[in-house]
């Protein structure tokens, strides 16, 4: 039963949806949804509470918050500012800044030279880095009272460095001793409608490259020794997903046809995972490793990276002022 659910996605929300579409209840996993009609932001919280739930979902025990905003791909500065404020509120839930010199290390995962994978490096480019200034001159040099010590690193990818990202990060943590790590990475989605319109936050760390089948060692509290919050935005889907979505539309069209209805009924007999596996067989071997991204990915990734970095700047530089009652928390 579990093995058949092998559709590739980094989003816990999509894993949960896949089971629900086949009317399979996953014990130890809860889902809560909230929707802000005015801002058109839907927030889904998936909590994996047991080891059994983690095994079935193939994701660690923890909390996964998914913020879906269809207009996030649109160049509307005011709307992106709203998203930044909301994102800052969600991140605040995971942060326990219980000391004066609370220090945060932001890790921009990905390859700067591959645009769909450049989200992490771009976020770091837009961050207000404060650790060196605060250590040298004190917090008041920043003009804010609640400034945190922010440091950042773009470790590159293994092909560039010859090192696992977790090896680089562990060395930095050992030397600089931050209290928290925030890892930012591009993700893969199951649904093309979520590309560049969704932000996932989790308190479970991250597996770089897992969404595209390129598994690297995990960056988690267990591997680096400090809590790790992951922020991700899906920027790619695999070819099988697009063909599968097309096939779903074809089935719907067949069912509305008098002469071809029988074919549609036969195809409807397959569950979502079986259809996906069938599509993978049909398009192999040439398209199985193909990942697709929107044509305006260059400007979109830069815009979303700025939205995420602004949320972090609001949160850590004392400028985060947002009405708790307006939030979707």
Query: The domain containing residue 264 runs over which residues?
Result: 243-283
pLDDT for position 188 = 87
How far is residue 228 from each of residues 31, 57, 72, 218, measured CA to CA in Å? 22, 20, 25, 11
Are both 18 and 158 inside the same structural domain?
A: yes
* Rounded distance between C-alpha atoms, residue 64 and residue 192, angstroms: 20
Q: 62 phi and psi, to 5 degrees? A: 160, -170
Give the torsion sign (CA, 5, 11, 16, 18): negative
Is residue 3 included in any domain, yes or no?
Answer: no
Are both 233 and 260 inside the same structural domain?
A: no
Are both 103 and 248 inside the same structural domain?
A: no
Q: 4 phi and psi, to 5 degrees? A: -75, -15
pTM, whole model, 2 decimals? 0.79
pLDDT for position 176 = 94
Are both 156 and 221 inside the same structural domain?
A: yes
Are both 267 and 214 inside the same structural domain?
A: no
Is residue 329 included in any domain, yes or no?
Answer: no
> Beta partners for 288?
none
Pick from 72, 76, 21, 302: which is nearest to 195 by CA? 72
Are both 252 and 138 inside the same structural domain?
A: no
Number of domains in the chain: 2
Are both 44 and 129 inside the same structural domain?
A: yes
Are both 200 and 235 inside the same structural domain?
A: yes
Are both 175 and 266 inside the same structural domain?
A: no
pLDDT tens, residue order, the chain (329 aa): 334 445 567 787 777 766 665 556 778 888 888 988 887 888 999 889 888 888 888 888 999 999 998 888 788 888 899 899 999 988 988 887 667 788 999 999 999 999 999 999 999 999 999 898 888 887 777 766 667 889 999 998 888 899 999 999 999 999 999 999 999 999 988 877 888 899 999 999 987 655 455 556 889 999 999 999 999 999 988 777 777 777 766 776 666 666 665 655 555 666 666 666 666 666 666 666 677 887 888 899 999 999 999 999 998 876 444 444 445 54
Are both 264 and 145 inside the same structural domain?
A: no
Are both 235 and 86 inside the same structural domain?
A: yes
Are both 263 and 311 inside the same structural domain?
A: no
Q: Are 191 and 239 in contact (CB under 8 A)?
A: no
* Rounded distance between C-alpha atoms, residue 160 and residue 52, angstroms: 37
């Amino acid at each position: 039963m579990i093995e058949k659910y092998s559709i590739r996605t980094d989003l816990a929300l999509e894993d949960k949806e896949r089971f629900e579409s086949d009317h399979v209840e996953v014990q130890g996993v809860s889902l809560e949804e909230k929707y802000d009609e005015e801002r058109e932001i839907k927030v889904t919280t998936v909590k994996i509470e047991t080891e059994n739930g983690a095994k079935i979902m193939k994701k660690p025990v923890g909390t996964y918050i998914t913020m879906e905003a269809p207009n996030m791909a649109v160049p509307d500065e005011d709307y992106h500012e709203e998203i930044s404020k909301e994102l800052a509120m969600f991140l605040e839930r995971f942060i326990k800044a219980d000391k004066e010199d609370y220090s945060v290390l932001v890790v921009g995962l990905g390859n700067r030279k591959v645009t769909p994978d450049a989200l992490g490096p771009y976020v770091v480019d837009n961050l207000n880095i404060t650790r060196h200034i605060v250590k040298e001159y004190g917090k008041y040099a920043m003009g804010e009272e609640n400034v945190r010590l922010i440091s950042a690193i773009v470790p590159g990818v293994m092909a560039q460095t010859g090192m696992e990202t977790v090896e680089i990060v562990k060395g930095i943590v050992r030397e600089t001793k931050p209290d928290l790590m925030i890892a930012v990475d591009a993700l893969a989605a199951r649904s093309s409608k979520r590309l560049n319109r969704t932000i996932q936050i989790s308190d479970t760390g991250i597996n770089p490259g897992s969404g595209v089948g390129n598994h690297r060692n995990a960056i988690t509290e267990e591997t680096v020794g400090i809590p790790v919050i992951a922020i991700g935005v899906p920027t790619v889907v695999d070819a099988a997903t697009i063909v599968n979505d097309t096939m779903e539309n074809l089935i719907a069209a067949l069912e509305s046809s008098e002469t071809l209805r029988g074919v549609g009924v036969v195809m409807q007999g397959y569950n979502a995972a079986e259809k996906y596996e069938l599509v993978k067989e049909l398009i192999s071997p040439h398209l199985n490793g193909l990942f697709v991204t929107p044509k305006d990915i260059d400007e979109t990734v830069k815009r979303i990276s700025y939205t995420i970095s602004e949320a972090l700047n609001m949160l850590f530089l004392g400028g985060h002022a947002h009405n708790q009652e307006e939030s979707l928390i």
